[in-house]
Amino acid sequence: MSTAMLRLYLRPRTAIVIPVPEAAGIVEVTDPGMPPHVTLLWPFARRPRARHRRGLAAIAARHSQFEFALTQVGTFPGVVYLAPDPAGPFVDLTRAIAEAWPRYQPYGGAYPNLIPHLTVRLGIDPLTDGERAELEAALPIRCHATEIMLLAPDGERWRELYRLPLPATSETW
């Protein structure tokens, strides 16, 4: 891990996520208090202010609820994840947030490509063949993104600060 990434992990920062309750019970909780989710932006402000809430609410208001499915298992070094399809709405929301607050870039700007994902496992232990087969058997998981959530670290746990609804749409599966 780079020094810059290590500094990000050591300083408590908030996270902006799309909760994915449909994945509960299928994926392990990787961080206490953090629901299954696709991260839109981390790290975000240490101490979010009213202006952050207003700005996030305005961004949420410009993006509709959307359907997606978790369709495949993927890996990064030290991470096993599920990939959402389509990924575009997550990328659009992340870009809108990062454009509103340019000093906050996804993962501190450590990675050149934005790859939306739902983390299944962190650490050096890969999935066993049996675990991978069990996870793949549960796919696809059909999901509905209805809100943006801001979470803050609170000791060893995460706590919800607030949720902002995405406007409803008439599109369905």
Residue 30 has pLDDT above 90, yes or no: no
Residue 126 has pLDDT above 90, yes or no: no
Sheet (strand 118-122) strand order = 118-122, 79-85, 66-76, 141-145
CATH number for 124: 3.90.1140.10
The pLDDT of residue 170: 65
What range does the domain containing 73 cover? 3-163
Residue 135 has pLDDT above 60, yes or no: yes
Is there a domain that residue 131 lies in? Answer: yes
Domain count, the chain: 1
Where b means 16+ CB within 10 Å and e means fewer, 69-105 reads bbeebeeeeeebbbbbeeeebbeebbebbbeeeeebb
Is there a domain that residue 118 lies in? Answer: yes
pLDDT, tens digit, for every residue of 151-160? 999 988 999 9
Residue 8 has pLDDT above 70, yes or no: no
Is there a domain that residue 168 lies in? Answer: no
Is there a domain that residue 173 lies in? Answer: no
Is there a domain that residue 169 lies in? Answer: no
pLDDT, tens digit, for every residue of 69-92? 999 999 998 899 999 999 999 999
